[in-house]
């Protein structure tokens, strides 16, 4: 292979060769991953080491979440048994003993951790006869359905619209989409949700205003759309910026010079690198959607995880609030981890430790 | 510096909203917390005594919404100030120190980032009792993370510049370099980012008030007005629509202004 006459140095070819070598080395590094997963300290495969590192990295975060939730809830003035009429001291002492609140704080913390390790979030302190596990088991499927569908809608509509805006840059469609996106980001779910209920539910009577019956999908349309909109709008902008950046890069020009069709350039050379930041945004997006679902559930009267959370915080229902915050945190942290791993899989640069 | 037209339009809208919020209540004979027993839940109309209607208790919605804008803006502004001080301090120190200190400090920010912070703000507002002061503290305590990242990146860029090197060579102690040479040069990006923070914090404040954890009745904030409006929307949609339009106008104007400032002052994306 000889150097092209247009290039006055053999450097691009040298670079190509080192890339080939790097690719071979990576393939060689991957091989033991499928053969023997052992020997992690020595020449462990990068991908496995990366995954393990990320997995271990969630431990301090989880621990911080649990400790912070415990401390914040306990530092709050008042307790779960303060009511309008004060209880007799003997009754309160009995209640405190029954729930273990008479013990010193460190001991309560260790007990809570032990329960948590067994997957036991304890009894609710205000909703008698319910354990926190039971309350979460009721709410979680509703919230996950709502949040999952909203995330799906945001990604499914946000990516194509963002690509469209980038391809139609500075034309009417682009300006329209960007204007809508700014509005979509600025207007939160707790504004759109009641407005949707007002317009589609009360004025037009197309869809139910509120309520939840299992197996009635029309109940979910308005909440899902209201929940997805801010994330969708953000994704449109993110995808547009990302696609525009990739479009200006030399490898796209090369592909054009080779005479590839626009569709092939878009699908093979533009979208894969452009969607990497989108993958990274999915973690924060999931967090935003979970947060938003708190309000959307309230507005539409859905029996999800958000139910009783605010009330529980005001009533000092220690175990309920801690349990729900921890479950939310685990969901967010877990999703971030999955996204991290996917990014490592897609983008080889991330598998190597960054040099400052 | 020349702003693009959306940003200039946003500046006008923002000016109008601010002028209304400050002067509007003076033009109306009503107080934010005054009850009009004769006219409860009346619809908006120019002929009536209440231009934008009244709520369930007969309080004037024009005055109440403007009061809400004022309270929400004040809380968001103060919270932005809190996040600005924390974020600039933290980011400048991390960026200037570099090396291990920087890695450790930014790792802590990463950990905080991956927390679902709104739930911790909810917990904080419970711990600190529900007063406007605690709301802005809680919100500001969250808002500084992104500011710290922006400032750290900018500081790392500044650190390589000749005038910093000259200061180091002249034997200026590090705190003085930070305060005299680094921080003033951060003004551009910090201003842009602060403008972009305010609408986010307005939304966070009204989110908390909507849930009943922020500003409490009878004080008005956009969030608790929206929450009341959402409950009454079947019978009295204006109770929702009036505070809603004020919120949207304020947040959109601030958003467009921030973007315009960013484009004008700072060519590289933050």
Question: Digits of tens for pLDDT over chain A (356 positions)?
Answer: 444 444 444 455 666 666 677 777 777 766 655 544 444 444 457 778 878 888 887 888 888 888 888 888 887 777 777 665 677 778 778 877 877 777 888 888 898 889 888 888 888 877 777 888 888 888 888 899 999 999 999 999 999 999 999 999 888 888 899 888 888 887 888 888 888 888 887 777 777 766 666 667 777 888 899 999 999 998 998 999 899 989 988 999 999 999 999 899 998 889 888 888 888 788 778 888 888 888 888 888 888 888 788 778 777 788 888 888 888 888 888 888 888 788 777 776 666 655 43
State whether residue A294 sits within 8 Å of chain B by CB. Answer: yes
Would B115 be classed as within a structural domain? Answer: yes
**Main-chain phi, psi angles of A307, to 5 degrees:** -60, 140
Which CATH number goes with the domain that contains B231?
A: 1.10.3720.10
Chain A residues with CB under 8 Å of B226 CB are: 190-191, 194
Does the beta-carbon distance from A188 to B118 stay under 8 Å? no
DSSP letters along chain B, please? ----HHHHHHHHHHHHHHHHHHHHHHHSS--TT---TT-SSPPP-SSSS-TT-B-TT--BHHHHHHHHHHHHHHHHHHHHHHHHHHHHHHHHHHHHH-HHHHHHHHHHHHHHHTS-HHHHHHHHHHHT-S-HHHHHHHHHHHHHHHHHHHHHHHHHHHHTSHHHHHHHHTT--HHHIIIIIIHHHTHHHHHHHHHHHHHHHHHHHHHHHHTTSSSPTTS--HHHHHHHHHHHTTT-THHHHHHHHHHHHHHHHHHHHHHHHHHHH--S--
**Main-chain phi, psi angles of A123, to 5 degrees:** -85, 150
Would B221 be classed as within a structural domain? Answer: yes
Whole-model pTM: value is 0.76
State whether residue A180 sits within 8 Å of chain B by CB. Answer: no
CB A166 within 8 A of CB A278: no
Does the beta-carbon distance from B119 to A298 stay under 8 Å? no
Q: Nearest by CB to B207, from A73, A188, A195: name it.
A: A188
For residues B100, B102, B104, B108, the Cα torsion angle rounded to the nearest 10 degrees is: 180
CB A238 within 8 A of CB A278: yes
Would B270 be classed as within a structural domain? Answer: no
The pLDDT of residue A2 is 43
Structure confidence by residue, pLDDT tens digits, A165-213 = 999 988 888 889 988 888 888 788 888 888 888 888 777 777 776 666 6
Residue A27 Cα to chain centre, angstroms:
31
Domains of chain A: 141-348 (1.10.3720.10)
State whether residue B66 sits within 8 Å of chain A by CB. Answer: no
DSSP letters along B191-232, please? HHHHHHHHHHHHHHHHHHHHTTSSSPTTS--HHHHHHHHHHH
Q: Nearest by CB to A60, from B111, B120, B213: name it.
A: B111
Does the beta-carbon distance from A313 to B213 stay under 8 Å? yes
Burial call A224-263: b when 16+ CB within 10 Å, e when fewer: bbbbbbbbbbbbbbbbbbbbbebbeeeebeebeeeeeeee
The kind and range of the H/E element at B64 are helix B61-97
User: Which of B18, B153, B12 has its CA nearest to residue B90?
Assistant: B153
Report how far residue B96's alpha carbon sits from residue B186's, in angstroms, rounded to the nearest whole number.
12
Distance from CA of A325 to the nearest CA of B (A): 6
Report how far residue B97's alpha carbon sits from residue B111's, in angstroms, rounded to the nearest whole number.
20
HSE value, Cβ hemisphere, 13 Å, CA-based, for A345: 8
Would B54 be classed as within a structural domain? Answer: no
**Main-chain phi, psi angles of A131, to 5 degrees:** -90, 160
Chain B residues with CB under 8 Å of A60 CB are: 111
Report how far residue B58's alpha carbon sits from residue B36's, in angstroms, rounded to the nearest whole number.
5
Segments forming the whole domain that contains residue B11: 5-19+67-265
Does the beta-carbon distance from B240 to A194 stay under 8 Å? yes
Report how far residue B23's alpha carbon sits from residue B112's, in angstroms, rounded to the nearest whole number.
41
Chain B residues with CB under 8 Å of A73 CB are: 123, 126-127
The pLDDT of residue A83 is 63
Q: Nearest by CB to B252, from A182, A197, A329: name it.
A: A182
The pLDDT of residue B124 is 75
Does the beta-carbon distance from B233 to A198 stay under 8 Å? yes
Would B41 be classed as within a structural domain? Answer: no
Would B33 be classed as within a structural domain? Answer: no
Would B254 be classed as within a structural domain? Answer: yes
The kind and range of the H/E element at A256 are helix A250-257
Q: Nearest by CB to B234, from A202, A309, A331: name it.
A: A202
What are the tokens at B23? 């002067």
Report how far residue A318's alpha carbon sits from residue A320's, in angstroms, rounded to the nearest whole number.
6
pLDDT tens by residue, chain B, 270 residues: 677 788 888 889 889 888 888 887 777 777 777 777 677 767 776 666 667 777 777 788 888 888 888 888 888 888 889 889 999 999 999 999 888 888 888 878 877 776 667 777 777 776 776 666 777 777 787 788 888 988 998 898 888 889 999 999 999 999 999 999 898 888 888 888 888 888 888 888 888 888 877 777 778 888 888 888 877 777 778 888 888 888 888 888 888 888 788 777 765 544
Q: Nearest by CB to B123, from A69, A283, A356: name it.
A: A69
The pLDDT of residue B89 is 92
Chain B residues with CB under 8 Å of A191 CB are: 226, 244, 247-248
State whether residue B103 sits within 8 Å of chain A by CB. Answer: yes
Distance from CA of A307 to the nearest CA of B (A): 11
Distance from CA of A76 to the nearest CA of B (A): 4
Would B53 be classed as within a structural domain? Answer: no
Count structural domains, chain B. 1
């Amino acid at each position: 292979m000889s150097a092209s006459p247009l290039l006055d140095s053999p450097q691009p070819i040298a670079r190509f060769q080192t890339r080939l070598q790097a690719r071979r080395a990576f393939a060689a590094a991957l091989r033991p991953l499928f053969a023997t997963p052992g020997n992690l300290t020595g020449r462990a495969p990068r991908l496995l080491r990366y995954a393990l590192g990320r997995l271990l990295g969630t431990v301090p975060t989880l621990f911080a979440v649990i400790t912070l939730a415990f401390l914040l809830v306990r530092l709050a003035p008042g307790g779960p048994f303060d009511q309008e009429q004060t209880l007799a001291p003997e009754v309160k002492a009995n209640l405190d003993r029954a729930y273990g609140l008479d013990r010193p704080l460190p001991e309560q913390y260790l007990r809570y951790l032990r329960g948590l390790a067994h997957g036991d979030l304890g009894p609710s302190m205000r909703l008698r006869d319910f354990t926190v596990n039971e309350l979460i088991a009721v709410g979680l499927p509703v919230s996950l359905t709502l949040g999952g569908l909203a995330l799906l809608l945001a990604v499914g509509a946000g990516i194509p619209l963002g690509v469209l805006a980038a391809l139609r840059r500075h034309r009417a469609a682009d300006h329209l989409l960007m204007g809508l996106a700014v509005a979509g980001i600025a207007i939160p779910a707790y504004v759109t949700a009641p407005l949707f209920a007002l317009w589609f539910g009360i004025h037009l009577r197309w869809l139910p205003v509120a309520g939840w019956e299992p197996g009635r999908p029309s109940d979910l349309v308005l909440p899902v759309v209201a929940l997805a909109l801010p994330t969708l709008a953000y994704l449109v902008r993110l995808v547009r910026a990302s696609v525009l950046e990739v479009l200006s890069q030399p490898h796209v020009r090369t592909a054009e010079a080779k005479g590839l069709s626009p569709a092939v350039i878009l699908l093979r050379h533009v979208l894969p690198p452009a969607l990497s930041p989108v993958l990274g945004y999915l973690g924060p997006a999931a967090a935003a959607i979970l947060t938003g679902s708190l309000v959307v559930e309230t507005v539409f009267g859905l029996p999800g995880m958000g139910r009783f959370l605010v009330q529980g915080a005001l009533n000092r229902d220690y175990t309920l609030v801690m349990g729900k915050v921890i479950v939310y945190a685990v969901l967010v942290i877990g999703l971030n981890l999955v996204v991290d791993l996917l990014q490592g899989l897609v983008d080889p640069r991330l598998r190597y430790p960054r040099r400052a | 510096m020349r702003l693009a037209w959306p940003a200039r339009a946003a500046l006008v809208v923002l000016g109008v909203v601010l002028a209304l919020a400050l002067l509007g209540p003076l033009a109306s004979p009503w107080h934010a917390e005054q009850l009009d027993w004769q006219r409860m839940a009346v619809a908006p109309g120019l002929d009536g005594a209440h231009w934008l209607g009244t709520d369930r208790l007969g309080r004037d919605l024009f005055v109440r919404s403007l009061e809400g804008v004022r309270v929400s803006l004040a809380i968001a502004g103060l919270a932005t100030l809190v996040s600005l001080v924390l974020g600039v301090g933290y980011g400048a120190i991390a960026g200037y120190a570099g090396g291990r200190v920087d890695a450790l400090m930014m790792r802590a920010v990463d950990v905080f980032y991956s927390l679902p912070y709104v739930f911790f703000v909810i917990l904080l507002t419970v711990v600190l009792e529900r007063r406007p002061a605690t709301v802005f503290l809680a919100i500001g305590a969250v808002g500084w993370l992104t500011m710290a990242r922006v400032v750290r990146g900018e500081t790392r860029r500044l650190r390589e510049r000749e005038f910093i090197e000259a200061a180091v060579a002249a034997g200026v102690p590090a705190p003085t370099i930070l305060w005299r040479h680094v921080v003033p040069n951060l003004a551009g990006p910090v201003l842009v980012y602060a403008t972009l923070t305010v609408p986010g914090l307005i939304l966070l404040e009204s989110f908390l008030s909507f849930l009943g954890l922020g500003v409490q009745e009878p004080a008005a904030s956009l969030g608790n007005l929206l929450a009341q409006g959402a409950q009454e929307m079947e019978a009295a949609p204006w109770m929702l629509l009036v505070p809603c339009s004020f919120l949207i106008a304020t947040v959109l104007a601030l958003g467009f202004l921030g973007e315009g400032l960013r484009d004008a002052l700072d060519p590289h994306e933050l």
